[in-house]
């Protein structure tokens, strides 16, 4: 089934303008969602808003949006005021710079879109895709849509296409300094085995077909069984894995499980031999007192 475009866009850099079509790169339809039902009759439940002060239900035409500037204190905005603050959609992605692809930390990645050439844009589209791929760079720019301005990254993909990745702002990403990471020394022998294990599991490309959403498949199967009136059999929980305390033991076991002989670690430095003390000499017999010797002579 062919993808359906969700809009049109112009990618602009310098004096070059590329008309493109916009497509969603991900879909949420695969996710299984559940509705809240009344347990007694099985009917859908309807959400209702209540005023916390008067404890009465409030209809949507009585609602306004407000911002809490202090504890339980709000300033209210009507729809026209909110509309005036929105960014006007320009339908243009203005490229400001080109940076190495590796320079953009994936922690900034937000929503991805596929972009394809629109009428008259095939040649400049192909030129930009090829130039970015050869240079191993991506384009960084801005795009105004749905009342907001977004940072976007346009990067090449293997089949000659382009992906426009919506990025988060710096204020939306927590600094890693907020995470406590203790400083630890890494033993050379452990590092050697870890690198060997990485080499055994290394691939040049990521293949997403190797991974399956087993939880979603399990839920879908259970739903189908329920629809067909079958009884659901709960699977037993997997036995907990034994905790390995010795890091070297864990690395060696991981390699052996892959059928790889762990690299021989460097022998531990031998303890310095203790300096041998010279043998003790036999104690000389105690000298007789001078008076005793004189007495012996007189006899």
Tens-digit pLDDT profile for residues 244-282: 567 778 877 887 787 777 776 655 555 444 445 555 555
Comparing 5-9, 25-29, 51-55, 93-97, which segment has the lowest mean pLDDT?
Answer: 25-29
Please check whether residue 233 lies inside any domain of the structure. no
Residue 135 within any structural domain of the chain:
yes
**pLDDT for the residue 82:** 82
195 falls within a domain: no
Range of the domain at 115: 7-27+89-174
pLDDT of residue 97: 95
**Average pLDDT of the chain?**
82
Q: How confident is the model at residue 235 (pLDDT cuts 50, 70, 90)?
A: low
Highest mean pLDDT: which range of 69-78, 229-238, 286-295: 69-78
Q: For the ranges 128-132, 158-162, 189-193, 266-270, which has the lowest average pLDDT?
A: 266-270
Report pTM: 0.68
Q: Mean pLDDT over residues 31-53, rounded?
A: 88
- Assess if residue 40 is contained within a domain: no
Is residue 39 domain-resident?
no
Q: Which of 68-72, 229-233, 248-252 has the lowest mean pLDDT?
A: 229-233
pLDDT, tens only, 80-138: 888 887 666 678 899 999 999 999 999 999 999 999 999 999 999 999 999 999 999 99
Q: Considering its fold, how many domains does the chain have in total?
A: 1
Instruction: Please report whether residue 71 resides in a domain.
Output: no
Q: Which residues of 149-175 are buried (b: 16+ CB within 10 A; e: fewer)?
A: ebbbbbbbeeeeebbbbbbeeeeeeee
Lowest pLDDT segment from 34-43, 53-62, 239-248 = 239-248
Kindly report the CATH number assigned to the domain that includes residue 169: 2.40.290.10
103 lies in some domain: yes
Percent of the chain with pLDDT over 70: 80
pLDDT, mean of residues 5-26 = 91
Structural domain contains residue 278: no
């Amino acid at each position: 089934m062919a993808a359906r475009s969700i809009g049109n866009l112009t990618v602009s850099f310098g004096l070059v303008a590329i008309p493109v079509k916009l497509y969603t790169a991900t879909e949420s339809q695969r996710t299984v969602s559940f509705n809240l039902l009344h347990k007694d009759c099985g009917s859908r439940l309807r959400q209702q808003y209540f005023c916390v002060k008067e404890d009465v239900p409030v209809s949507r035409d009585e609602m306004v949006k407000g911002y809490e500037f202090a504890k339980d204190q709000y300033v209210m905005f009507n729809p026209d005021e909110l509309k005036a603050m929105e960014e006007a959609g320009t339908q243009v992605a203005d490229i400001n710079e080109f940076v190495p692809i590796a320079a953009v930390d994936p922690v900034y990645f937000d929503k991805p879109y596929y972009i394809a050439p629109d009428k008259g844009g095939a040649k400049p589209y192909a030129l930009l895709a090829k130039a970015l791929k050869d240079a191993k760079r991506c384009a960084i720019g801005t795009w105004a849509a749905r009342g907001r301005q977004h940072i976007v990254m346009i990067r090449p993909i293997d089949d000659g296409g382009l992906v426009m990745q919506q990025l988060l702002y710096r204020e939306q990403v927590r600094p890693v300094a907020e995470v406590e990471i203790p400083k630890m020394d890494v033993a050379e022998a452990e590092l050697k085995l870890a690198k060997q294990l990485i080499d055994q599991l290394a691939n040049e490309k990521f293949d997403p077909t190797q991974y399956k959403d087993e939880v979603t498949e399990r839920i879908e199967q259970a739903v189908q069984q329920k629809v067909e009136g079958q009884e659901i059999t709960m699977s037993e929980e997997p036995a907990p894995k034994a905790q390995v305390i010795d890091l070297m033991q864990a690395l060696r076991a991981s390699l052996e499980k892959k059928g790889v002989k762990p690299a021989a670690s460097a022998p531990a430095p031998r303890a310095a031999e203790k300096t041998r003390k010279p043998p003790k000499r036999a104690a000389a017999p105690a000298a007789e007192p001078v008076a005793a010797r004189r007495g012996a002579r007189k006899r």
